[in-house]
Copies of this chain bind each other. A is one copy, B any other.
Amino acid sequence: MSLTPIFAAVQEASRQLPALSDARINQVLEAVADAALAQTEHILSENRKDLARMDPANPKYDRLKLTEERLKGIASDMRNVASLPSPLGRVLKDNVLPNGLHIRRVSVPFGVIGIIYEARPNVTFDVFSLCLKSGNACVLKGGSDADCSNRAIIGIIRQVLEAFGLSPHVAELLPADRESTAQLLHAEGYVDLLIPRGSGELIRFVRQNASIPVIETGAGICHTFFDRTGDLKKGAAIVNNAKTRRVSVCNALDCLLVDKERLPDLPALCAPLQQSHVLIYADEQAQAALNGHYPADLLLPSVPESYGTEFLDYKMAVKTVGSLEEALAHIRRYGSKHSESIVTEDSGHAARFCRDVDAACVYVNAPTSFTDGAQFGLGAEIGISTQKLHARGPMGLEEITTYKWVIEGNGQIRK
């Protein structure tokens, strides 16, 4: 089945949105939050149908599961998005040229944003609210595991849209099959931006196959370099926080680099990790330093695959380096340009690290676990970009707008 008529309907619906005031958008978002709570039972009963089809031992089960508590959190997140300043109509440049032309660069919606995601029904509410707040219509392609939940949620959203006199096509949920993904990747002229959220495999597939503009989100292979002058107390807290705050997220620490002069401090640096039973893959020198100080059953020799791996688990590699230069070279080779940190009291090294590490987020004396839209003060986050085009790192509302040039004249002509 060709989805072109659906894409065309969403595009048509998106054209209503620039005329909506921010106050009106916020009313819609508040009303969707209200409806989500009022229809909690309906959503949960549809969610149970999805859950019944999944093995509770599947790690996706917990992410698929909605509860009354989680729906309250979702509604509260939507009200939070409503409370944020509008990302639209910002005047990014404003000049009067010598010929009298008044030229402004003004933020505007993209139009239609496509999102491909996996079995997390909360994303449906989340993405809709960020898209609407930024004046965009959205085409959602959710995971088949969550299809009953997603249909229930989109149904509620569309009831509210219609109650406000808006086209229900402002939010469209595609059939949860591969054919939908294939067509969405080539929705040229209809979908202005595509954001895949999910596994590395999904994102790779999108990058390889899309012919419309894409923002990649995804893998973080994150390092922390404990420099020759690093403060041990700060370092131990930073490493522990970066590794163990939440191991399943892309900003979690994967590899600790340690200056060889500081090997005697490695046991203290790693000591807090014992509490979380972090398994360490250490190179020969680091292993010698840790031996007898770190639980033997949690200490293994590193192998080549220990480096450049995103563990998403209570596991970490440790690598000894001879200098800042060696640390930079290791990060260049194995990092994924997501988040990298240095622990140092040497301001020259800090500056070199910030300049020479090519990553979305570079940290001095702070853990990579801060890479997050809310932590960065963006108010909300639609994803963390791992590409350099358009947006890098955490993306908030501003990052899902584009701009137009508005030029006002009085009959000037170009020589």
Q: Which residues of A pack against B, CB within 8 Å?
A: 15, 18-19, 95, 97, 101, 103, 110-111, 188, 192-193, 207-208, 211, 213-215, 231, 233-234, 237-238, 240-241, 245, 332, 350, 354-356, 358-367, 369-372, 375-377, 387-390, 392-394, 402-414
Does the CB pair B405–A364 fall under 8 Å? Answer: no
Nearest Cβ on chain B to A139's Cβ, whole angstroms: 15
Does the CB pair A405–B388 fall under 8 Å? Answer: no
Does the CB pair A103–B234 fall under 8 Å? Answer: no
- Write out the residue numbers on chain B whose beta carbons fall within 8 Å of the beta carbon of A388: 110-111, 192-193, 213, 402
Take A19-B355, A207-B188, A389-B213 as given contacts and tell me if A365 and B409 are in contact as well, using a CB distance cutoff of 8 Å: yes
Nearest Cβ on chain B to A119's Cβ, whole angstroms: 26
Q: Considering the chains assembled together, what is the distance between the CA atoms of A375 and B405 in angstroms? A: 13
Nearest Cβ on chain B to A230's Cβ, whole angstroms: 10
Chain B residue with the shortest CB-CB distance to A233: B411
Does the CB pair A413–B110 fall under 8 Å? Answer: no
Take A370-B101, A404-B392 as given contacts and tell me if A411 and B356 are in contact as well, using a CB distance cutoff of 8 Å: no
- Choose from B213, B332, B393, B410 the contact partner of A405 (Cβ within 8 Å): B393
Q: Considering the chains assembled together, what is the distance between the CA atoms of A341 and B96 in angstroms? A: 18
- Choose from B362, B369, B390, B406 the contact partner of A414 (Cβ within 8 Å): B369
Nearest Cβ on chain B to A205's Cβ, whole angstroms: 11
* 5 A–B contacts, CB within 8 A, in A order: A97-B375, A245-B413, A360-B404, A366-B410, A388-B402
Take A356-B15, A402-B389, A406-B354 as given contacts and tell me if A237 and B413 are in contact as well, using a CB distance cutoff of 8 Å: yes
Nearest Cβ on chain B to A367's Cβ, whole angstroms: 6
Does the CB pair A234–B411 fall under 8 Å? Answer: yes
- Choose from B211, B376, B408 the contact partner of A103 (Cβ within 8 Å): B376
- Choose from B111, B387, B405 the contact partner of A358 (Cβ within 8 Å): B111
- Write out the residue numbers on chain B whose beta carbons fall within 8 Å of the beta carbon of A360: 404-405
Does the CB pair A414–B19 fall under 8 Å? Answer: no
- Write out the residue numbers on chain B whose beta carbons fall within 8 Å of the beta carbon of A408: 350, 363-366
Does the CB pair A392–B387 fall under 8 Å? Answer: no
Chain B residue with the shortest CB-CB distance to A245: B414
Q: Considering the chains assembled together, what is the distance between the CA atoms of A18 and B370 in angstroms? A: 25
Q: Considering the chains assembled together, what is the distance between the CA atoms of A188 and B356 in angstroms? A: 20
- Write out the residue numbers on chain B whose beta carbons fall within 8 Å of the beta carbon of A350: 408
